[in-house]
Every structure is written in structure tokens, then in C-alpha cells.
Amino acid sequence: MCVYYDLRGLRLIVIGSIVTMVLSVVESLISAVDESAAFLVLPLELVGWVITIVGVFKCSRINERFRKAKTFTLITILLSAAALAALFLFLVNAYWPDENESLGDASFVVGLISLAAMVLFFLAILIISFICVYQLLYGCRDIALMEGEQYLAQKCRSIWTMYIWASIGGLLFFVIALGSIAALETVAMVFFIIGMICGIVVLVAEIRLLMCFWRFWKTYHGKPVGGKNIPLPEQPVI
């Protein structure tokens, strides 16, 4: 029996990511006029994230790397829930101190611990999201190698290199800029501008990433599998 590629998950990832990116821009524009109205866009952004997550889950049957991407996505969801819980606890201690007067000094300790936990959770989410993108891109690369498409395989690697280094560079320069504001405002501005440039490069890399996923869906979805090294869906896709 012939086995066919089922790459509808990649299409969902692209659609969900575009929805999230567009709504993020809309939210920023609305918040510049009315911050309270910007919260109305958040539920729609969640829809984009849900579509993306469903896409990752649908890809998990294709090969081992996509299965790992699904696992890391599940971990990210759990960490996000924990980070929100820590954020809520921190805000309660910061903005409603009267509610915790009975705790005394323990209230300050709880607030400090929740802040530290929140930072650690968000840092873990950032690292795992990088790993997830890596697994998705290299999952596509495995398909390209199995089909003998060296150019596509090299393109996946190129996109990942551009994405990860620009992301790390942007984060580092923003952190340095924030840390040097008190010392030298001019130096801080230079690092901030470099960080912005890195952010633009990351955006370009993300667009290339989505175009790559879309190309793999258009090229291979519903077509017979050319190799036998990677486990794929048992049922043919019509």
C-alpha cells in the first residue's frame, strides 16, 4: 500500500502564525489610542495560537522531529499556565497588599518568590520555543533529504541559523541596553538600535520560516512518500 504525506498541520501552523502576527500589530495600534480596548483583541490572538498548536499536533505523525515538537509544545503550554499563575500571585501581592496584611513579612517573600518563578518560567518558555522551531524546521529538512531535495534541506538549515542567531543577538542587546540606561544613555541607545535591527532580522526569518512550511505543504501534501526511513501516517490522505 502506498503511503502519502499528510502535511495539513504545516498549513495550520502558517495560518495560525499569520493570524497571531496580524492581531498583535492590531493590538499595538489600538493600545496606542486606548489601552483598555486592546484587551478585546487578546481572545482573537488566542484563537491564532490554538490554530498553531493544532497544526503542530497534526504534524506529529510525520516523523520523529515533529513528534518532539509536539512534546515541547505540550511542555510550553504547561509552563505558560504556571507562569500565568506566578504572575497572578505577584500582582496580588503588588497591587492588593491590604489583602495580605495578615501574612506580614511573608507577603514580601511570597511576592519575591512569585516574581523569580515567573522570570524562570518565561525564560524556560523562550528556550523551549526555540527548540520547538528547530524540531519543526529540521522535520521539514528530513523530508527534503528523504526526497533527495538537497536545496530545500539546505534552505531549512539556513533559515534556522538566521532565526536563532538574530533572536539571541536581539535579546542580548536589549538586555544590555536596559542595563546601561542609568550609566550611559547614548550607549544604551546604540544597543537598543542594534537590538531593533536584530528584531527586524528575526521578523524576516519568521516570514521565511512560514514560507518554508507553506512550500513543503504545497509540494508534498498528498503525494507518495519517497523514502522509508521515517515513520509516516498509516492511512493514505485523499
The domain locations on the chain are 1-59, 64-148, 154-219
Whether the model clears a pTM of 0.85, i.e. scores above it, the answer is no
Range of 69-78, 93-102, 112-121, 165-174 with top mean pLDDT: 69-78
In the structure, what pLDDT confidence band is assigned to residue 9 with cuts at 50, 70 and 90? very high
Q: Amino acid identity of 150?
A: Q
Which residue's entry shows cell 491564532?
48
Q: Which pLDDT score, from 0 to 100, does residue 52 have?
A: 94
Could you say which DSSP state residue 237 is in?
P
Q: Pick the more confident residue, 228 or 99.
A: 99
Q: Which pLDDT score, from 0 to 100, does residue 42 have?
A: 75
Contact of 6 with 62, CB cutoff 8 Å = yes
Report helix, strand or coil for 95. helix
Q: How many CB atoms lie within 10 A of CB 166?
A: 20
Which residue's entry shows cell 522570570?
119
Q: Which pLDDT score, from 0 to 100, does residue 235 have?
A: 40
pLDDT, average across residues 134-156: 92
Burial of 120 (0-12, 13-18, 19+ CB in 10 A): middle
pLDDT over 70, % of the chain: 79
- Residues 50-87 as b/e (b if ≥16 CB within 10 A, e otherwise) read ebbbebbbbbbbbbebbbbbbebbeebeebeebbeebb
Mean pLDDT score across all residues of the chain = 81
Range of 62-71, 187-196, 227-236 with top mean pLDDT: 62-71
Q: Is the pLDDT of residue 1 over 80?
A: no
Cα angle for residues 52, 230, 7 (degrees, 5° grid): 30
Q: Which pLDDT score, from 0 to 100, does residue 16 have?
A: 94
Could you say which DSSP state residue 232 is in?
-
Lowest mean pLDDT across 30-34, 185-189, 227-231: 227-231
Please report which helix (H) or strand (E) contains residue 141, including its range: helix 105-146
Q: Which pLDDT score, from 0 to 100, does residue 157 have?
A: 93
